[in-house]
Structures are given as C-alpha cells and as structure tokens.
Structure 1
Amino acid sequence: MKIVIVGSGGMVGQGVLRASLAAKDVSEIILLVRNEPEGVADPRVRHIVNKDLLTFDASDPLFSDVDGCFFCAGISSSGVSEEVYRRVTYDMTLRVAEQLKASSPQMKFIYVSGAGADASGKSSQMWARVRGEVENKLQALFPGNVAIFRPAFILPTPDVQSRTPAYRLLYTVIAPIMRLISAVTGKRFLSIIDIGNAMLNITRYGTDKVIMSKPDIVTCADKHSAT
C-alpha cells in the first residue's frame, strides 16, 4: 500500500506512523509536513515539506496511485479566533483532500475529527461546527471512500507527547492512571497505535461505517491481524 500521512509530528500522527512502519504491506509512506522532520530512517518513507498546506499541489506523479490518506493534523481551538481555527481545520484539510482526490481518485481518506463534532451546524461550540463542516465536505468529496474518527480520550505511548501544552499536562497526569486501570481491570483505552491500525485496515478492506467513535475504531483496529 502507498499512503500519505498528514500531521505525523503530532501525538496521534506519531502513532499512525509507527503502525504504518510496522505493517509489512505498506510499501511507501509519504509524510506531508510543514517542517523538516527528524528521526525517521526507513527506505519506505519520503518527506514532503510544505510550509503552508493551502498551497499544497498534488500534481507531482509521487501522489498518484495513493491507497490512503491519514489526516491527523489539527490545532486546539483554545485561545485562537474562529478565523485562524477555520483556516487550519477547514481550509487546509479541504485543500489537501481536493488535491489528493484529483491525483488518486480511488484512495481512502481517513480523517481524525473529535468527539462532539457537530455536522448539523447547530452546536454552540465553534470548534464542533467547523469540524462538522469538514466532515460533511469530506463525505461529499469521497463517497464510499471516507472514514471519520471521533475519538475522545486517546492514550499515547509512554514516549510520545502532545505538542499542545494543556494536553501535554493533562496526559502527564491522566495517562499513567489510565494504564494502571487497564492493567488491573483489563479495560481497553483507545491508543494512538489503535488509530493507526484502524486506518490501515480501512485502507485494506474498506468500512461500511463512516462516522466512527471509540468502540468502532477499536473494532476496526482488531478486525484483521496486521499484514
């Protein structure tokens, strides 16, 4: 499989990249990044640096025959205006999606949204409305070839941190407790690796469900053994 990962430097994106590197049937991994990356040494990986995703152009033959795009990029809505949040969350996402659709029409597009996103546009929360608009546009752009993840709490691996200071502090406190609960009770928490494995399985086998919450993502991650 040939995949594109957007947002591989973030907490979720790092997990998705690790899952992809562990998959034997992944032949090419294109990382669309805004800054020169470090620490990824694998012959299957190619980095494409693009400072502003609003200028992204997928006309390069590199982006033809892509099997799946895993879109993990995003920002917190805390402390930013709707204009800024919309530019990053809506405008940049749709620019990448439309460009890749033109170069690889049959690819799967898997988008990490968030629990509480509102596709009706009626939510009082700005972030939920904007995320919902993105979801609606992606479903129209990729009919039958899109999956939208709405996770709530996501458990990182111990060596991965969020880039958002508030989230980083939260995970520092909560993550060890969640791991202890999991070890004692056997309760399954959604991990960044689960998200990556679910994305890979959707690319391999497709999915009948478009909007996916935590139980759906876990089921999809476990549905087939990694190839």
Structure 2
Amino acid sequence: MKVVLFGASGMIGHGVLRACLDDDGVESVTAVVRRPLGVRHPKLREAVHADFTDLTDVAASLDGADACYFCLGTSSAGLTEVEYTRVTHDYALAAARALLPLNGDLTFVYVSGHSADSASATMWARVKGRAEEALLALPFRAYVFRPSYIRPRRGARPATRPYRLLYASTSWLYPVLRRLFPRHMTTTDTVGRAMLAVTRLQGRGPRVLTSVEINGLAAQETA
C-alpha cells in the first residue's frame, strides 16, 4: 500500500504517520508538507510544497497512491469563515482533485469533527460539514472520521499553542473521561490504525465513522 499523508506535522497526522511506518503492509508514505518533518525512515518520502490549493508541482510524487489520509487542520479560533474554509475545505478538495485522476480506486480519509454539519450554526462545524459532503460526492472511496476527544500518544502533540495548553491541562482527566464517556474517547494511535483498516475495506462499510467505529476498526486491525 502506498499512502499520501497531509498534516503529518500535527497531532493526528503524527499518529497516522507512525501507524503507517509501523505497518508491514505499507510500502511507502509520501508526506505533503510545507517544511521538512525532521523524521528519517526508509518508507518516508516528503513532498515540500507551499500552496496547498494547487498541487500541480508535486503531482508526480502523488502518482500510484492507494490511499490519502487528510489530517491537515487548524483551530477556528480567531479565523474568519473564509480563512477557515481555505484550510479545512479548500485544501482537502484540492488534494482530492489532484489525486482522483491518478487512481480512481483511491481511498481518501478526511478527519472531520464530532458535530460536523453543513447546516450548523457553529462556523467550524458548518465548514467541515460542507467539506464532508463535497468529498463524499466525488467518485472514489471516501471516508469521513468524526472523532471526539483524541488522546495524543507516542510524542504526538497539537501544532498550535492553545491546543497544547488545553491538552496539557486536561490530560490527567483522560482515565476518568474514558470510564465516563468511552464512546467518545480515542487516541492518535487508534486513529492511525483505523485509517489503515478502513483502506483495506476497499469501499465497504459505513462512510462516516465516529469514535465508536474508529475504535472498533483499530481493534480489528490489531486482533
């Protein structure tokens, strides 16, 4: 399996990258990044690129991919809807449209959020909902992950300072939250394993997955 990964420098992307590098079924991972990750591994390739709305210059690096894991994202705090749409919606659609002509059997996994809904009154949920709908309408194997609380593992950490502070201040609560709300808890490792598992479904199964389905798929992957 050849994987293209967006957002490898972020918390979720870090977990997905580690899962891919650890998996014997993954032949290579091409991380599309703005700057080098500083990670060395025989499977890892980097496509350094500045404009994620136009991937023409790195299209050759994406050819032959079996799966694309789109983990790129940002906090909506302090952003206008136009600014947030560019990163959350436009970048994802640009990636999908660049990859679609290269492999019609591609599996594309988009990391969304638990309450995503294009009709939502909440800006981030509305934008992510629109992105979901646009991706699911494209003619390839698209899946949407809607996790709730994600616990960072194996060195994963949020890319932005507000999220780092939030996770640092609440990490001690995870064991309690997991007992109280097990259906809403997952980890970066689990999300990574679930992406590999959903790719192996080859278009079968539900196309929108919450933490329950994500955890279930990851458990099957390691069984």
**Gaps in structure 1 of 5+ consecutive residues:** none
Kept in 2: contact 1:58–1:99 (CA 8 A): no
Cα RMSD (Å): 2.0
Residue 197 of structure 2 is aligned to residue 198 of structure 1? no
Name the CA shift for 1:65/1:165 in 2 (closer, same or farther; >3 Å).
Answer: same
Give the distance between the partners of 1:181 and 1:77, measured in 2 at CA: 24
Give the distance between the partners of 2:97 and 2:72, measured in 1 at CA: 16
Q: Percent identity?
A: 35
Residue 63 of structure 2 is aligned to residue 67 of structure 1? no
**Gaps in structure 2 of 5+ consecutive residues:** none
Name the CA shift for 1:142/1:164 in 2 (closer, same or farther; >3 Å).
Answer: farther
Q: Measure how far apart 1:113 and its partner are.
A: 0.3
Q: Measure how far apart 1:61 and its partner are.
A: 4.0
| Equivalent residue number for residue 131 of structure 1 | 128
| Equivalent residue number for residue 87 of structure 1 | 86
- What is the TM-score normalised by the length of structure 2? 0.92
| Equivalent residue number for residue 26 of structure 2 | 26
Give the distance between the partners of 2:32 and 2:58, measured in 1 at CA: 14
Give the distance between the partners of 2:158 and 2:110, measured in 1 at CA: 18
Give the distance between the partners of 2:196 and 2:154, measured in 1 at CA: 22
- What is the TM-score normalised by the length of structure 1? 0.90
| Equivalent residue number for residue 10 of structure 1 | 10
Give the distance between the partners of 1:175 and 1:87, measured in 2 at CA: 30
Kept in 2: contact 1:31–1:45 (CA 8 A): yes
Give the distance between the partners of 2:221 and 2:75, measured in 1 at CA: 33
Q: Measure how far apart 1:179 and its partner are.
A: 4.2
Post-superposition Cα deviations, 1:14-45, rounded to whole Å, max 9, x if no partner, equal: 0000111110111011001111221x111111
What letter is aligned with 1:79?
A: G
Post-superposition Cα deviations, 1:51-98, rounded to whole Å, max 9, x if no partner, equal: 110121277443222111000001111101111111111111101110
Give the distance between the partners of 2:59 and 2:143, measured in 1 at CA: 25
